[in-house]
Amino acid sequence: MFIRKYWLPLSVFLVTIAGVGLYLLATQPPKEPIKVYKLVEPIEKPTTQAPVGDTSQGGHVHADGTWHEGPHEPVEQPSTADGNPPQLHVEPPSVIAQGNPTSDTMQDPSAESSRREWRKWHDEWSRLAKEHVQTTQEWIDALPQTPEELERFNTDESYKREVQRQLQAAMDKDAKAYVRLQEHKKTRPAIPPTR
């Protein structure tokens, strides 16, 4: 009798519960996969037993521990027409630092301008962020700091009004600093390319 009388509300209730359950299942993000890290012992490099420079086995060992069969091939030195070895010409550091004017190491004027604009914006951001931190500290400092000040705040109405006035002034100043910081954030230029 009960089910015949209330079949429609019970059906709606059950369908609602099923719908909410399906919605919650669909909106949950998938779980992170479990990562299993397997410890691996490093492979030891084989070491040579022969001392550096030992040639008893038909070769020699280099200072870094590598074995080399046989002697190195001799390197022929080029000579000039008069039979003397050529002189090595080394550019002075100032010439090397200047670079080739046609190379891509030259500074792009627009990139330099972009870096200046970014630096200017970042300096202003730093100044506004410091100001916001200072104003936040001001309203924190306006609160009663010691148990005695808290007791006085709870019992002395004139002291309570004065603390509330200072707190409100500091919070207004902090809110203005925060607004300036957020407005400046909206003017952020594109990050310049690196050199």
Q: How many CA atoms lie within 13 A of 110 on its CB side?
A: 1
What pLDDT shows up at residue 101?
A: 45
What pLDDT shows up at residue 15?
A: 93
8 A C-beta contact, residue 119 and residue 192: no
What pLDDT shows up at residue 90?
A: 46
Instruction: Please provide residue 63's backbone torsions phi and psi, each rounded to the nearest 5 degrees.
Output: -65, -25
8 A C-beta contact, residue 145 and residue 109: no
Torsion, Cα of 57, 60, 65, 66 (10° steps) = -90
**Radius of gyration over every alpha carbon of the chain, rounded to an integer in angstroms:** 39
What pLDDT shows up at residue 51?
A: 53
pLDDT by 10-residue block (mean), the chain, 195 residues: 81 91 81 78 63 56 67 59 54 44 53 82 87 85 85 88 87 87 84 69
For residues 55 and 67, what is the distance between their CA atoms, to the nearest angstrom?
A: 10
CA dist list (Å): 187 to 67, 125, 126, 190: 63, 10, 14, 10
Helix (H, G, I), strand (E, B), or coil: what is residue 33?
coil
Q: Look at the pTM and tell me if it is higher than 0.75.
A: no
What pLDDT shows up at residue 24?
A: 83
What pLDDT shows up at residue 16?
A: 93
